[in-house]
Chains A and B, each alone.
Chain A
């Protein structure tokens, strides 16, 4: 694939992520903050998000395994997850968190477990997609091109 095709592919891929609500406006705000002096800003923030998310998913699983579930604790983790996903523009993850918090409020175990599953699913989707996007960007840079806006 030549450079032009790679760039075209990236633009289309990005557009699809927005179109399918994987990403929202906040993500492009982050891209706008990236420049020659901070060329890895987006990757760095997203990497922090991945690490933090994995930690939170583990905490959530543990909390929901307890014989007596501390819903306040579960809610606190989901609240954090909601915050971080909102900060990077991961809209579907954020929405999954909102639904999750409702079940926490109702102290509905079944509901919470289902939401955790849904949350894991949405997280893994956006992670895969972002990683693919970064890979495309890397290919473009390695081919000597620049990342289209």
Chain B
């Protein structure tokens, strides 16, 4: 399997602050991602091709014919708190949608509130980044986007079952992997508050051992 070029990845960034949109756009472009920025949760859903009332009934198509999603979005990075949509609102809507739930979502917030962080992770966010976001923070995004690419290569599979032939060979056990992953994070102030209050098992509810791809 060849390495996916980063410019193949398209990130949707959502933030109501014009300054933050400009900065996150530059950060993402510097990391060689394609970027679309929107200023609200509802615009994000529109861009993703989801009407706000969609996704609950599996019998109705979750993509509105009028809002055909032309571009594939590999990751959504959103501010936690924006006017117009309740907290976690966008995250929940994405995770409740049959067509969008596998898109990784990353939450950004200016406030380091452990309960907020755990709640976001429980609701399905892949990462919680403390603002102001740095270039080094964006390195955490790539594994999540790669996972979705693998998934689409392997047909319909949940992200937890990657179906890689060498999945179990040469990899540390899931517990160890989490620990290894935790160590760099424990030096990172951004996760520190969360780690003090939340057990490792709860921080990565969907992690199943493979976090990086070579």
Contacts and interface: CB of A to CB of B under 8 A. Distances in A.
B131 A86 contact: yes
Contacts of B174: none
B131 A83 contact: yes
Residue of A32, A48, A83 contacting most chain B CB atoms (<10 Å): A83
A131 interface: no
B110 A82 contact: yes
A78 B19 CA distance: 15
Contact of B132 (A32, A52, A86): A86
Contacts, number: 46
B26 interface: yes
Given A83-B17, A87-B17, A26 B22 contact: no
B150 interface: no
B165 to A, nearest CB: 40
User: SS class of chain B's interface: helix, strand, loop or mixed?
Assistant: helix
B22 A48 contact: yes
A88 B26 CA distance: 13
B20 interface: yes
A108 to B, nearest CB: 21
Nearest to B22: A45
Interface string A33-54: 1000010010011001100100
Nearest to A88: B19
Contact of B22 (A32, A44, A80): A44
Contacts of A87: 17, 19-20, 23, 131-132
A99 B109 CA distance: 19
Interface string B121-137: 00000000001101100
Interface residues of B, number: 14
A44 B21 CA distance: 12
Given A45-B23, A80-B17, A33 B132 contact: no
A130 interface: no
A138 to B, nearest CB: 21
B4 interface: no
Interface in B26-43: 26-27, 30
Contact of B27 (A33, A44, A83): A33
Contacts of A82: 110
Nearest to B20: A87
A83 B111 CA distance: 10
Interface of B: 17-20, 22-23, 26-27, 30, 110, 131-132, 134-135
13 contacts: A26-B132, A29-B132, A30-B23, A32-B135, A38-B26, A49-B19, A52-B17, A83-B110, A83-B131, A84-B17, A86-B132, A87-B132, A89-B132
Q: Which 8 A-B pairs have the closest CB atoms?
A: A84-B19, A33-B26, A87-B132, A26-B132, A83-B110, A48-B19, A87-B19, A45-B22
